[in-house]
Amino acid sequence: MISDLLVTLGGVVGVALFGVIAGLFLMGIDRVCAARMQMRQGPPLLQPFTDIRKLLCKDSVVPANAIPGLFNAAPVVAFASAVVVLLYLPLGSILPAGVPVPVTGEYGDLILIMYLLTVPALAMVAGGFASGSPYASVGAQREMVTMIAYEFPLAVAIVAIAWRLAAAGLGMPFSVATIAANPIWGVVGPLGIIGCILLLIVLAWVTPAELSRIPCDTPEAETELCGGLLVEYSGRNLALFSLSMAVKLVAMTGLTVLLFLPWNLSPVLGLSGIPAAGIDLLFFVLKVMVVMFFSVTLVRVVMARFRINTIVSLYWGWFTGIGLIGMLLIILDGTFGGWLL
């Protein structure tokens, strides 16, 4: 009993550490890649680690007209919830359902992940409103609007895939284990593949919005709001927010990997046990890197910042539309797939 608990605790700490390290590493890669594309040298790969270390050494300043309790709680909640998302995501072949270490057990599925993904953003909103700065308040309002804008396309993508898995006769379609074990590309027919590509596009565009990166960095908008939500944050609080962003980067790209690229290397190499988990974890990081490069780095290098109303019309109009078309194709594929071809 106690040993079970210890193993679980160890697993949780391990996942949290992995999330932080992988997230900061990804951020470093993102910065170097973006710099190279902008004809700059860019910072050293480990700059995010240095930044966090420095921030952790600094004092947290709480503004006079902030609500101290909420102001200080927000970064902790944001970081904790970002790590919790990772506990429910498969990291390579390490599944949350207890293979090889029991972390969260059988509970928790994609719907829970979707809700958990909104918590860091909500914590930032709360922290922004608690800052007592007009910049932070405007940033918090924008963050809420952005959330409303991107949640629907995200839900469409997830529901469509789960529905198709259910239509294929699989039990518990929302469970991450089911999705990881049955790559969607193998389940659908040609019509569904087109639908899946559309959904992949939608998800790739939801990622920068979810992570508040250009072109959807309106809540932080350096030139408009001097950092918006985070304008009053400093020291350890800012470090926690940065860490939660880093972990969220892994979680969000990990979600894309889970939905669309869930393959592992170990079956191909014929490995099992700990080496398999290690290889798959590395492969997972590689997949996450590729996803991040295309949906975060590349996008932020080639785009200007959107206005907040553009974000709403774009996500509610275009991406929801594309998502629904993708969903429709998948439904057609699931219903008539058998005799269409």
Partner 1 sequence: MSEKKAPYELPIGPIHPALKEPINFTFTMNGEVVEAVDFAPGRAHRGIEWMGMRRNPVQIVHLCDRICGICGVSHALAFSQAVEQIGGVEVPDRAYYVRTIIAEFERIQSHLLWAGVAAHELGFDTLFYLAWQVREESLDLIEYITGNRINYGIIQIGGTRRDITPDMVPRIEQGLKYYEDLFEKMVNLFLNDKTIAMRCRNSGILTKKRALELGTVGPTSRASGLRMDVRKDSPYAAYGDVDFDIILPDVYGNEATGDVYDRIVVRLFEIPQSISIIRQCLAQMPEGPVLAEEKYAKLLLNLKKAAGEAFGRVEAPRGEDLHYVRMNGKQEPPEMWKVKASTYSNQMAWVEILRGEQIADIPIIVASIDPCMSCTDRVAVVTPQGDEGVLTKEYLHRLSVEKTRRMQE
Given the complex with partner 1, which of 134 and 190 has the nearer CB atom?
134
Q: Which two tokens stand for residue 256?
A: 């894309």
The CA–CA distances, whole Å, from 293 to 32, 147, 157, 204, 336 equal: 11, 22, 20, 10, 36
40, 53, 54, 58: residue in contact with partner 1 (rule CB under 8 A)? 40
Indicate whether 3 belongs to the interface with partner 1 (CB under 8 A): no
Strand partners, 267: none
Residue type present at position 176? V
> Among 57-65, 149-157, 168-176, 223-231, which window interacts with partner 1 (CB under 8 A)?
223-231
1, 2, 3, 39: residue in contact with partner 1 (rule CB under 8 A)? 39
Site string for partner 1, 270-309 (x = CB under 8 A): -------------------------------xxxxxxxxx
134, 190, 275, 317: residue in contact with partner 1 (rule CB under 8 A)? 134
Indicate whether 88 belongs to the interface with partner 1 (CB under 8 A): no
Given the complex with partner 1, which of 31 and 248 has the nearer CB atom?
31
- As a whole number of angstroms, the distance between CA 88 and CA 106 comes to 10
Reduce the DSSP state of residue 49 to 3 states and report it: helix
Three-class secondary structure assignment of 55-85? HHHCCCCCCCCCCHHHHHHHHHHHHHHHHHH
8, 72, 118, 310: residue in contact with partner 1 (rule CB under 8 A)? 310
**Total residues in contact with partner 1, by rule CB under 8 A:** 30
Given the complex with partner 1, which of 99 and 303 has the nearer CB atom?
303
Neighbours of 40 (CB within 10 A): 11
22, 167, 209, 225: residue in contact with partner 1 (rule CB under 8 A)? 225
Indicate whether 106 belongs to the interface with partner 1 (CB under 8 A): no
How many CA atoms lie within 13 Å of 62's alpha carbon, on the beta-carbon side?
A: 13
The CA–CA distances, whole Å, from 141 to 216, 223, 226 equal: 14, 17, 15
> Among 105-113, 130-138, 197-205, 322-330, which window interacts with partner 1 (CB under 8 A)?
130-138
CB 96 within 8 A of CB 87: yes
> Among 19-27, 209-217, 232-240, 332-340, which window interacts with partner 1 (CB under 8 A)?
209-217
> Among 22-30, 141-149, 172-180, 185-193, which window interacts with partner 1 (CB under 8 A)?
141-149
Indicate whether 223 belongs to the interface with partner 1 (CB under 8 A): yes
Given the complex with partner 1, which of 106 and 222 has the nearer CB atom?
222
CB 67 within 8 A of CB 243: no
Reduce the DSSP state of residue 304 to 3 states and report it: coil
Indicate whether 323 belongs to the interface with partner 1 (CB under 8 A): no
- As a whole number of angstroms, the distance between CA 247 and CA 85 comes to 9
Binding site for partner 1 (CB under 8 A): 37-40, 134-135, 138, 141-142, 145, 214-215, 217-218, 221-226, 301-310
